[in-house]
Structure 1
Amino acid sequence: MMQEATGVQPPTAANGVVPTWAPPPAAPPTITVLHSRAEAEAYVASVCFKHGPPRLAGVELEWLVYPAAAPWKPPDAATLAAALGPHTPSTLHPCSPAIPLPNGSVVTVEPGGQVELASPPLAGLSALDRTVKADVAELHRRLAAHGLHIEPRASDPIRPPTRILDLPRYRAMERAFDRIGPHGRSGMCSTAAVQVCLDAGEAAEIAHRWDTLHALGPVLLAAFANSPLLHGRRTGWKSSRMACWLAADPGRTAPPPPRTGDPATAWAERVLQTPLLCVRRSTGSWEVPDRVTFADWIGGALSTRPTTADLDYHVSTLFPPVRPRGHLEVRYVDGQPGRHWMLPIAMLVALLSDPVVTDKALELSEPAQGRWTSAARHGLDDRVLAGAAVGVFELACTALRALGGPPEYLAELEDVTERRVRRGRCPADEAVPGETGVDREPAPAGPPFALRDGPAGPQRLPDHPDEPDSPEGARW
């Protein structure tokens, strides 16, 4: 019955879909009712920053997909499920076995039908490279076999934002974002990222690694910006993806101030002060009254008492450029064309591989620190970011060579450094086959979806006057 309805087959040795890797069984979490803000903040600090030697790295790769026969349409949920087969997540088909891909990566689907691959955490770039390349190839093969193509940009160049997952979380999320503006809906349904996951490190190192990842953020955001088109036209931003997320709900998505001292304490305070996006319930809507924070919930603002499980879930509804979840989840890089997803992974692993290299990366990035808005708008047209990027990319090449990373990564990184970064260019400046003119309109055979038609998103993405934003490098 399952195969007939969705194309999903149960995993058996006979059908060849049994994965070669499986995660170890996890112990059931201990769930505790929270009675005070101090108790909740201590819990967040303890679970979001796990101490230990920085050995492991992983990646989450997202892709916008579209039907080759009708690129102006969103992907069909049934077609996606048929393409993903036994790897279909339960959010798309509740009866799916949702097994990992053959090398252990897990497939998920985002609200607008973006497909995401999450690798297992692995020690060493070579192991990560083998795993991710093999699983990406299998995932893309499955999509292509069902007429689904991969969009090379990190934002949807044609379609308005359309949510295909009708789940309580995403209904509540969409309505909460819509109260602020149209940008959250675009971020949810029409963008894709490369998210690099790294160990937080030993207790004495965490603040330094946290500061370095944030200092590197504007530099890597600018250098890998790959979303100049959104909903039918050019937005004037090199990373329309990041512009959408910065504007979606700033309290939930903005970067922290530089050098916040103890990041665990600052993060715990932020989590408690952030309004609830939704509250899980067994039936009915997950929506909550506007602007009720988790601290308010502890104080009695809702009829139930929150638990540590509720707090874990609340953390998953914050989307800053770097999100601590036991490890550090770097979220500021646009999805990359082709196999260039490997470059931000290689850079971040190499730059945080040794304390001396990390010190130098922080030093090189500091002139550009805080330039998030200018990075998203101008990319490497910002002279401060362009100067910092050359130094950071050169350092990453040296560090990757010393690390003994995959030769393919080093060769590609050196090529991009010479061909693009030294010339002040990012992927948004490069032509993509099929893009015509400044205002890219949909294929003539389909409906004329453009930015001005319906709730697609902002005609002009918002200014952030509190941050540096000038290609000349001047601050407001």
Structure 2
Amino acid sequence: MVSAAGAPAPAPPDAGPSVLRDCADAEAYVASVCFKIGPPRLVGVELEWLLHRPSAPEVPPDAAALVTALGPHTPTTLDPSSSALPLPSGSDVTVEPGGQIELASPPLPDLGGLLQAVRADADTLHRLLATQGLRPHLRAADPLRPPVRMLDVPRYRAMEQAFDRLGPHGRSAMCSTAAVQVCIDSGGPDDVASRWAAVHAFGPTLLAAFANSPLMHGRRTGWKSSRWESWQRADPARTVPPPVSDVTGADPAGAWARRVLATPVLVVRRDDGWQVPHGITFADWIKGALPVPPTTADLDYHVSTLFPPVRPHGHLEVRYVDAQPGRRWALPVAVIAALLSDPAVIDQARAACEPAQDRWDDAARHGLADPVLARSAGVLFELADARLPALGAPPWVAHDLADMTERLVLRGLCPADHHARAALSDPAEDIRAPGFADHPEPPEGETS
């Protein structure tokens, strides 16, 4: 670089975290990094599975077996020397605190390509796990085992310490649950507010339709989504849904930034050790509540410790769907992508969900037995089904969506209702019984 006077310009300062001393600056920073504005082109997914050995379902998976099974795909949290190679179609493998396995796809520009790539990587991953006798659970919460943290890393130690102050639910949420997390672009200047409002409006209805965790730790909890219940009780300040007014306003980035600063700090990372403060919000930290002022890097990390139903992360990370049985993980991805694929469809879907848009706990407790949620689910699945051909969805996805709509949604049922009676007296039956979609009949010309 040369200055206007012709002399060499001074080198720019080294890039690094900036110290934050003003809440307004911090809110502006959050708004700019959490909502990346641009055309909505990409979609991705993160899939989590609880693992078990059918011969010993009460025994948790162990780290050594996972390292052996995953080989060069082992994440560095399990083996720091691992090359942590992605799976053949580009998905990364990670491990959650309780030993749940996670597949994180690359973001791709078309739904059909994403679903085919993730299906191939999921099949590869499950074959690797099977070499050590490990199989994925059909449910989104562990029906038998108590929550035991397998990963001993600073982040999860800090989360456990912070959650334990509030009760036992945090350990269950961290170690005994699994989800399907759909990742979509925030959208351009003219549609980001609409997309933000839409994914929240759909939330209770899709939470109910895909609820799949009626048991946890050897008992029936009374919730169709025990996963949702455990996360909501783990640390409400960082997990509960925002007020409807915060997601339907014209400035979603500003509302989110205010929530971020009002949320207690979970952990302070420093070279001499990680500290877990109590009752200090990030705004308090900026105002001097802790000895060393925070930086933008601290704020980035703080954002990663919030777990609301939808988390803006540059893109929008939809987190309210339970893990699904078999290949049915593809259905919430397809439904959400389809509902957001056209402005007219977004408007129709939001209108259908308006009576249900704040019924989060009803959705998690009752599933589609709630008639308000059942009506909105019927409309959403019909709209999604009509949009799938235009999005290039594979035939097996359209087949599975039609099957789920007919066998469950239109009957006021959700995956949690399948084999529920058998599991009442023996939670182990929930593991041994086939899932409603464990081996679905594929459409003509498709292999399962």
Q: With the length of structure 2 as denominator, give the TM-score of the two structures.
A: 0.90
What is the match of residue 170 of structure 1?
156
Among candidates 380, 383, 403, match of residue 392 of structure 1: 380
Q: CA offset at residue 283 of structure 1?
A: 4.0
Amino acid at match of 2:360: W
Among candidates 143, 168, 174, match of residue 188 of structure 1: 174
Structure 1 stretches of 4+ moved >6 Å: none
3-state DSSP of counterpart to 1:340: helix
What is the match of residue 9 of structure 1?
none
Give the distance between the partners of 1:154 and 1:441, measured in 2 at CA. Answer: 14
3-state DSSP of counterpart to 2:121: helix
Among candidates 259, 262, 270, match of residue 281 of structure 1: 270
Tell me if structure 2 keeps the 8 A contact 1:157–1:440: no
What is the match of residue 129 of structure 2?
143
The 5 Å alignment of 1:244-393 reads 244-260=230-246, 261=249, 262-284=251-273, 286-393=274-381
Gap runs ≥5 in structure 2: 1-13, 430-448
Amino acid at match of 2:355: P
The 5 Å alignment of 1:25-174 reads 30-174=16-160
Amino acid at match of 1:318: L
Over 3 Å counting, the alpha-carbon distance change for 1:160 and 1:46 in structure 2 is same
Give the distance between the partners of 1:226 and 1:48, measured in 2 at CA. Answer: 30
3-state DSSP of counterpart to 2:67: helix
Amino acid at match of 2:372: V
3-state DSSP of counterpart to 1:116: strand
Tell me if structure 2 keeps the 8 A contact 1:226–1:427: yes
Structure in which a larger fraction of residues adopt helix? 2
Tell me if structure 1 keeps the 8 A contact 2:97–2:156: yes
Tell me if structure 2 keeps the 8 A contact 1:57–1:196: yes
Q: CA offset at residue 269 of structure 1?
A: 0.5
3-state DSSP of counterpart to 2:130: helix
Tell me if structure 1 keeps the 8 A contact 2:310–2:319: yes
Deviates more, 1:53-62 or 1:393-402: 393-402
Aligned residue pairs total 413
Give the distance between the partners of 2:424 and 2:15, measured in 1 at CA. Answer: 52
Tell me if structure 2 keeps the 8 A contact 1:232–1:439: no
Identity of aligned residues (%): 65
Deviates more, 1:324-333 or 1:85-94: 85-94
Over 3 Å counting, the alpha-carbon distance change for 1:414 and 1:68 in structure 2 is closer
The 5 Å alignment of 1:4-23 reads none
Give the distance between the partners of 1:89 and 1:140, measured in 2 at CA. Answer: 16
Tell me if structure 1 keeps the 8 A contact 2:160–2:171: yes
Gap runs ≥5 in structure 1: 1-27, 444-476
Over 3 Å counting, the alpha-carbon distance change for 1:29 and 1:91 in structure 2 is farther
Tell me if structure 1 keeps the 8 A contact 2:116–2:394: no
3-state DSSP of counterpart to 1:104: coil
Q: CA offset at residue 233 of structure 1?
A: 1.2
Give the distance between the partners of 2:79 and 2:55, measured in 1 at CA. Answer: 24
Q: CA offset at residue 441 of structure 1?
A: 4.7
Render the CA deviation track for 1:378-434: whole Å, top value 9, x for unaligned: 0001010011111111111112133332222112111211111000000000128xx
Deviates more, 1:179-188 or 1:193-202: 179-188
Q: CA offset at residue 437 of structure 1?
A: 3.9
Render the CA deviation track for 1:174-200: whole Å, top value 9, x for unaligned: 111111111111000000000000000
Q: CA offset at residue 149 of structure 1?
A: 1.3
Q: CA offset at residue 440 of structure 1?
A: 2.8
What is the match of residue 223 of structure 2?
237
Among candidates 228, 246, 249, match of residue 214 of structure 2: 228
What is the match of residue 416 of structure 1?
404
3-state DSSP of counterpart to 1:341: helix
Amino acid at match of 1:164: M
Amino acid at match of 2:307: F
Tell me if structure 1 keeps the 8 A contact 2:267–2:277: no
Tell me if structure 1 keeps the 8 A contact 2:110–2:391: no
Tell me if structure 2 keeps the 8 A contact 1:234–1:440: no
Q: With the length of structure 1 as denominator, give the TM-score of the two structures.
A: 0.85
3-state DSSP of counterpart to 1:314: helix
Tell me if structure 2 keeps the 8 A contact 1:211–1:259: no
Tell me if structure 2 keeps the 8 A contact 1:233–1:439: no
What is the match of residue 9 of structure 2?
none
Amino acid at match of 2:234: A
